[in-house]
Amino acid sequence: MQERAKPDPPGYFEGESMTRRRAFTVGAQALGGLAGAGIILPAVGFAVAPIFHRGKERWEAVGPVSDFVEDTYRQVVFTETEGIGDAGKTTAYVRKSSEELGEESGKFVAVSNRCAHLGCPVRFVEAAGNFICPCHGGVYDFQGKRIGGPPVRPLDQFQTRVRKGQVELGPRYSVTNQLEPVRARDPGEFTGGIWEYLYPPRPSTFPAP
């Protein structure tokens, strides 16, 4: 009687790389993983989708050209986010551009009231000619450059244009310490130089003008 060869390793038939039991285990786990991924991945994508979504560009008229002068700001309120009523409104300080300050003439400057420290609303104080934040004492000069307190960069600005004699405000953008426009950053994030990489621009914001 011929002796049957003992399987080596035990449980394997000759020429097999995997036992039947092991194949079924691996197969069942793979199917389970596939089913799990089929549920988890769309759900996670659903939750993080807004990071990659950019809304429609929005322009709003805030007043006739004659309303704005070079040497002081005029406070305007307009809607930045639609669908949430008053909570979606934001305040901007608008003036004509000034050649004295080295700005291109015939344009309009719209400075956001969102503090570059943590996003509190700053106020333009006429007597001082400065923007002052009530929360943590941030101070900005007439152009919105930081001159004191915890803010990390100048105040944000809004794109401006003139249509039918009306000044219109558009998407928000941030500026570097030299007032060069960059893509909008959240408050608390530095701009310019290496910071452009440490706080990368978000796909949900509009390109800088």
Partner 1 sequence: MPSFPKPKIPDSIVPPPLRKPGKPGAAGTRKGQAPSDLKAAPPERQSAGDKLLERGKDAPIDALGWVDQRMAASGFLTGMLYRKVPKGTNWFYTLGSATLFAFVVQAVTGVFLAMYYTPSATQAYASIAHINNDVPLGQFVHGMHKWGASVMVILIFLHMGRTFFFGAYKYPRELNWVIGVVLLILTMTMAFTGYLLPFDQRSFWASIVGININGTGPVIGPYLSDFLRAGPELGATTLARFYAIHMLLVPGAIIALIGAHMYLVVKLGTTAPPWIKAERPKGASPLAQLDAGANGNGNGRVNGNRVDGAPASGEGTNGAAS
Return residues touching partner 1 (CB under 8 A). 47-48, 50-51, 53-55, 80-81, 83-85, 87-88, 118-120, 135, 184-189, 198-202, 204-205
Residue owning tokens 């809607």: 79
Q: Name the minimum Å distance from CB 114 to partner 1.
A: 9
If the CB atoms of residues 86 and 100 are measured against partner 1, the closer one turns out to be 86
If the CB atoms of residues 43 and 125 are measured against partner 1, the closer one turns out to be 43
Cβ burial of 197 (10 Å; 0-12, 13-18, 19+) is exposed
Beta bridge partners of 61: 168
If the CB atoms of residues 1 and 48 are measured against partner 1, the closer one turns out to be 48
On whether the CB atoms of residues 172 and 160 are closer than 8 A, the answer is no
Residue 171: cis peptide before it, omega within 30 degrees of 0: no
If the CB atoms of residues 22 and 54 are measured against partner 1, the closer one turns out to be 54
Q: Name the minimum Å distance from CB 104 to partner 1.
A: 27
Q: What is the DSSP letter of 121?
A: B
Q: Name the minimum Å distance from CB 161 to partner 1.
A: 20
Q: Name the minimum Å distance from CB 34 to partner 1.
A: 24
CA–centroid distance for 32 within its chain: 38
Cβ burial of 92 (10 Å; 0-12, 13-18, 19+) is buried
Q: Name the minimum Å distance from CB 189 to partner 1.
A: 6
If the CB atoms of residues 95 and 183 are measured against partner 1, the closer one turns out to be 183
